[in-house]
């Protein structure tokens, strides 16, 4: 009975063999982008309404008033510039030397006789009244004599011709004796004429003074008593 029980014992089961591990590298997750693309067809479309900029009525009136004020100021400045009176234009259109003589006895002196025709031109839109036309003769910067004509009137945008005659006899030039002797030796004497017009012009409710001056340098031949050259320029 004992022998039968020992034989009835079962053999031990064999242990399972361990399966070999996989040699594949571990799976890595792909790197996600930093932004998400917007879908080409959004699910819902939005409608926008564009409204004009609203400007208050008071602000628009202020801008209109400023523009009108600036235009009025510019128009006033332009009108004043165009209508503001300017000095008359004075020019010598004829200068005639009738006589010139140099005396050494009893003293060094000059005799000069000449006539001028002066044109006074008014370039403004208003008439002009001139009180006097003054003509002076100078030698080497020293005045020898002068003559003053009567007053006159020049219409707007017009001109007036004024005749002036000057007679100088025995004018002493002792201080310029050296220059006189030099000019006599050359046969030419330089004489300066200074013509000045003074007047006034009515502008609105005001009387504005006007003044114009022109100088001429004349070279005279002492032998032929003729003008060789003259040069006039305004001052």
Residue 229: pLDDT band with limits 50, 70, 90 = confident
- pLDDT score recorded for residue 145: 85
* Residues 94, 114 contacting (CB under 8 angstroms): no
Q: Give the pLDDT band of residue 123 (cuts 50, 70, 90).
A: confident
Predicted TM-score of the model (pTM): 0.57
Q: What is the pLDDT of residue 14?
A: 57
More confident call, 166 vs 37: 166
Question: Ranked by mean pLDDT, which of 14-23, 118-127, 170-179 comes out on top?
Answer: 118-127
Query: Does 232 score more than 60 pLDDT?
Result: yes
Domains and CATH numbers, the chain: 89-234 (2.60.40.10)
CA 114 to centroid of chain Cα atoms: 42
Query: How far apart, in whole angstroms, are the C-alpha atoms of residue 232 and residue 215?
Result: 6
The Cα–Cα gap between 198 and 150 comes to 11
Q: Which of 199, 182, 92 is nearest to 139 (CA)?
A: 182
> What pLDDT score does 140 carry?
84
- The 8-class DSSP code of residue 102 comes to E
Give the tokens for residue 136: 């002076």
User: Residue 15's pLDDT is what?
Assistant: 58
Residue 52: the pLDDT is: 66
11 falls in which pLDDT band (50, 70, 90)?
Answer: low
How much of the chain exceeds pLDDT 70, in percent? Answer: 72
| Half-sphere exposure for 203 (CA within 13 Å, toward CB) | 15
Please compute Rg for the chain using Cα positions: 56
% the chain with pLDDT above 90: 0
Q: Which SS3 state, helix, strand or coil, does residue 62 take?
A: helix
Q: Which residue has the higher pLDDT, 17 or 72?
A: 72
State the pLDDT at residue 95. 79
Tell me what pLDDT residue 45 has.
58
Q: Which two tokens stand for residue 233?
A: 């320029």
Q: Give me the mean pLDDT over the 8-35 stretch.
A: 53
Continuous segment of H or E residues that includes residue 120: strand 109-121
Cβ-contact 201, 207 below 8 angstroms: yes
Distance, in Å, from the CA atom of 73 to the CA atom of 78, rounded to the nearest integer, reads 9
More confident residue, 43 or 105: 105
70 is written with which tokens? Answer: 């600036």
Q: CA-CA distance, 193 to 216, in Å (whole number)?
A: 5
d(CA 180, CA 188): 10
Structure confidence at residue 127 (pLDDT): 83
Please say if the pLDDT value at position 113 is more than 80.
yes
Tell me how far apart the alpha carbons of residues 194 and 198 are, in angstroms, rounded to a whole number. 13
Average pLDDT, the chain: 75
Q: Cβ distance 131 to 112 under 8 Å? A: no
């Amino acid at each position: 009975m004992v022998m039968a029980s020992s034989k009835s014992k079962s053999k031990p089961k064999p242990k399972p063999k361990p399966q070999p591990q996989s040699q594949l590298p571990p799976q890595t997750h792909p790197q996600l982008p930093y932004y998400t693309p917007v879908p080409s067809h959004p699910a819902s479309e939005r409608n926008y309404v564009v409204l004009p900029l609203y400007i208050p009525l008071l602000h628009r009136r202020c801008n209109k008033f400023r523009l009108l004020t600036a235009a009025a100021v510019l128009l006033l400045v332009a009108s004043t510039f165009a209508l503001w009176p300017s000095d008359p234009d004075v020019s010598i259109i004829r200068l005639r030397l009738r006589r010139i003589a140099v005396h050494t006895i009893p003293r060094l002196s000059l005799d000069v006789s000449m006539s001028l025709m002066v044109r006074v031109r008014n370039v403004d839109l208003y008439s002009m009244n001139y009180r006097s036309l003054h003509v002076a003769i100078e030698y080497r910067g020293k005045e020898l004599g002068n003559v003053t004509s009567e007053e006159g009137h020049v219409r707007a945008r017009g001109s007036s011709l004024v005749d002036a005659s000057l007679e100088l006899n025995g004018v002493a030039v002792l201080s310029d004796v050296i220059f006189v002797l030099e000019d006599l030796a050359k046969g030419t004497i330089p004489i300066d004429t200074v013509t000045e017009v003074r007047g006034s012009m009515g502008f609105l409710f005001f009387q504005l003074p006007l003044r114009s001056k022109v100088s001429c340098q004349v070279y005279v031949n002492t032998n032929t008593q003729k003008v060789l050259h003259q040069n006039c320029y305004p001052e």
